[in-house]
Amino acid sequence: MIDYHIHTPLCNHADGSMEAYVQSAIEKGLSEICFLDHFIAGGPGRKHSMDIEEIPLYMQAIVRLRETYGNRLTIRAGLEVDFLPDWKGVIEDILSRYDFDAIGGSYHFVNGFNVASRKSQPPSDTDARESLVESYFEGLIRMLDWPYFDFLCHPDIVKKTGLTIPARLEPLVNEFLQKFAEKGLALEFNTAGWDHAPHESYPSESLVQKCFSLNIPFTLGSDAHDPEKVAHHFDKAVSILSKTGYTTLCSYELRRSRTVSLRDWAR
In a domain, 173, yes or no: no
Q: What is the pLDDT of residue 256?
A: 96
Can you tell me the distance from the alpha carbon of 241 to that of 172, in angstroms, rounded to the nearest whole number?
24
In a domain, 113, yes or no: no
Which domain does 82 fall in, by range?
2-106+150-160+186-261
Contacts of 184 (CB under 8 A, 6+ apart): none
Residue 32: its H or E element: strand 32-39
In a domain, 140, yes or no: no
Can you tell me the distance from the alpha carbon of 223 to that of 37, in angstroms, rounded to the nearest whole number?
9
Can you tell me the distance from the alpha carbon of 44 to that of 55, in angstroms, rounded to the nearest whole number?
19
Q: What is the pLDDT of residue 123?
A: 76
CATH code where residue 66 lies:
3.20.20.140
In a domain, 116, yes or no: no
In a domain, 131, yes or no: no
3-state secondary structure at position 97: helix
Instruction: Please list the pLDDT of the chain residue by residue as tens digits (267 residues).
Output: 999 999 999 999 999 999 999 999 999 999 999 999 999 988 877 888 999 999 999 999 999 999 999 999 999 999 999 999 889 999 999 999 999 999 999 999 888 888 887 677 777 788 889 999 999 999 999 999 988 899 999 999 999 888 899 999 999 999 999 999 999 999 999 999 999 888 999 999 999 999 999 999 999 999 999 999 999 999 999 999 999 999 999 999 999 999 999 975 544
In a domain, 220, yes or no: yes
Can you tell me the distance from the alpha carbon of 36 to that of 34, in angstroms, rounded to the nearest whole number?
6
Q: What is the pLDDT of residue 111?
A: 85
User: Quick one: which of 77, 30, 74 has its CA closest to 58?
Assistant: 77
In a domain, 55, yes or no: yes
3-state secondary structure at position 71: coil
In a domain, 27, yes or no: yes
Q: DSSP readout, 197-234?
A: TT-S-BS-HHHHHHHHHTT--EEEE--BSSGGGTTTTH
Given a contact cutoff of 8 angstroms between Cβ atoms, the answer to whether 248 and 261 are in contact is yes
Q: What is the pLDDT of residue 162?
A: 84
Q: What is the pLDDT of residue 79?
A: 98
Given a contact cutoff of 8 angstroms between Cβ atoms, the answer to whether 158 and 115 are in contact is yes
**Alpha helix stretches (DSSP H) within the chain:** 18-27, 55-69, 88-97, 126-143, 170-183, 205-213, 234-244
